[in-house]
Amino acid sequence: MRNIKNNNKGTHSVPLLLMGDAWHLTIILYRYLGFMNDPLSELFAVIVDRREHPQESSYTCKLFAGGDNKILKKIGEESAEVVMACKDADPDAIASEVADLFYHTLVAIAHHHVDLQLVYDKLAQRR
């Protein structure tokens, strides 16, 4: 069982089905039940699952194994790539590089056991 925070319905204990190739079915189920409603939450759930259940072939697990040095180095690299894509004014490249930056930032957040909801709360305060 894992506690899942639903923005509309509070926190609920739901069966943890995030294992191996079945994670996408779990995401669909959680979304249907209203537990997840955005791609960042879905991706974060997968990243946390990789942290809790390492898989040797997983790039995410390799980042976790490398610790802060590896994760933060990737964030720096991806940040520079976002800057260059913006400089080139290429919308597709910008979207791709920002997606990479989001992913690596989510890995850092998960590595430090920060709840993604805390980030969402901070963003909401900036409205």
Tens digit of each residue's pLDDT (9 = 90 or more) over 7-37:
555 554 544 444 445 555 555 566 566 655 6
Task: At 47, list the tokens.
Answer: 């990243």
Domains and CATH numbers, the chain: 2-125 (1.10.287.1080)
* 18-44 burial code (b ≥16 CB/10 A, e <16): beeeebeebbeebeeeebbeeeebbbb
What pLDDT, on the 0 to 100 scale, is given for residue 1? 45
Tens digit of each residue's pLDDT (9 = 90 or more) over 45-65:
999 999 999 999 999 999 999
